[in-house]
Amino acid sequence: MTVVQNKPHAPIQNQNLKQMVPRNAAKATTTNPALTAAKDTAAPDISDKAKELNNSAQTEVPNATEAASKASDLAKNLAKVPVLPIIVPKDTKKLEQKLQDKLDDKKIPKSHHKPVAPLKKPAVLFIEGFSAFGISNGDGIKDMAENFPGAKRFSWDEKDKILEEIKKHAHDQPVVLVGHSFGADSAVEIANELNNAKNGFRSIDLLVSVDSVGLNHSIMPINVKRNLNFFGEGVVPFLHGDPTVARNTDYTEVINELRSELHSRMEDAPEVQYKIYESINNTINEKNQPLELEQLIISALTQKMGEI
């Protein structure tokens, strides 16, 4: 049996590779001799600069070594310092709340921190009734409120606002409430609200009720000094008011007047409006008279002391 041995093939050479020229070879052949000479002359400058940098780095080494030595000494000294225990105060939440309150106070304008001075003028408040279904048109109350100096007008369902308005005025100033229809009923309810310790037993110097048609309006509490009550003589009880009475005549004066006007027209009657204005002016003058007398007495005494 004859064994045929395969001879190893020689590597195949690509003849095309012999013709390839490196990319930089062409450029090298076309390089300007002047540029080549310039590069050759610049090379020594680069090496000289490198030597300078190397020498400067060697000169700065001692400074770096000294800084490292100082840092090591500082670290050793810090290690010897005793560690103080951290003390956590009690009631941290309360302290945080106090700090927060101080921050909040700084945000609030200083003017808000000052207590508001009470108004040194009478509180004359007119209260309109329910205007639906022709029960009350509110024109008379509106006209009187707009033409009385310093007066304010409210609706029958704004009792909280009326209470806040009354509390803005000083206690030595007169308070006058004038209400028509449901507004008159609200005036009596407000008077009862002020007749307790919670609201300081605030006095109502004059309460004018014009044909009140609500409930629980017939009895005047003792903090009402005077009640001027106008009521109609209609056949339907709900559409006309009733006579009022004082819970205690030692504290309250009640004046009832029967009128012939319709319920929605009673507040517009010129005679009714005139009597209301007259009663308000008399009440304010009576309230301020003791103050004027007191001022006259003080002035006279001061003048007498000056003469002595």
Instruction: Assess if residue 82 is contained within a domain.
Output: no
Comparing 18-27, 128-137, 185-194, the range with the smallest average pLDDT is 18-27
Q: Closest Cα to residue 176, out of 83, 59, 54, 285?
A: 285
Q: What is the mean pLDDT of the chain?
A: 77
75-106 per-position pLDDT tens digit = 777 677 666 665 656 667 777 777 777 666 66
pLDDT reading at 43 higher than 70? no
* CA angle (66, 72, 78) in 5-degree steps: 135
Instruction: Assess if residue 98 is contained within a domain.
Output: no
At residue 233 the predicted structure's pLDDT band, cuts being 50, 70 and 90, is confident
| Contact in structure between 146 and 175 (CB atoms under 8 Å) | no
Q: Tell me the residue range of the domain where 213 lies.
A: 118-289
For 241, list phi and psi in degrees, rounded to 5: -80, -175
Give the model's pLDDT for residue 287: 74
Instruction: Assess if residue 282 is contained within a domain.
Output: yes
What CATH number is attached to the domain comprising 225? 3.40.50.1820
| Cα(127)–Cα(219) distance, integer angstroms | 19
Q: Closest Cα to residue 122, out of 143, 144, 141, 149?
A: 149
| Cα(242)–Cα(234) distance, integer angstroms | 10
Instruction: Assess if residue 23 is contained within a domain.
Output: no
At residue 67 the predicted structure's pLDDT band, cuts being 50, 70 and 90, is confident
Mean pLDDT of 12-25: 60
Instruction: Assess if residue 16 is contained within a domain.
Output: no
Give the model's pLDDT for residue 32: 56
Instruction: Assess if residue 49 is contained within a domain.
Output: no
Instruction: Assess if residue 78 is contained within a domain.
Output: no
The full 3-state SS of 2-70, as one line of letters, equals: CCCCCCCCCCCCCHHHHHCCCHHHHHHHCCCHHHHHHHHHHHHHHHHHHHHHHHHHHHHHHHHHHHHHH
Q: Closest Cα to residue 282, out of 211, 228, 222, 217?
A: 228
3-state secondary structure of 221: coil
Total structural domains within the chain: 1
3-state secondary structure of 166: helix
Give the model's pLDDT for residue 28: 47
Instruction: Assess if residue 271 is contained within a domain.
Output: yes
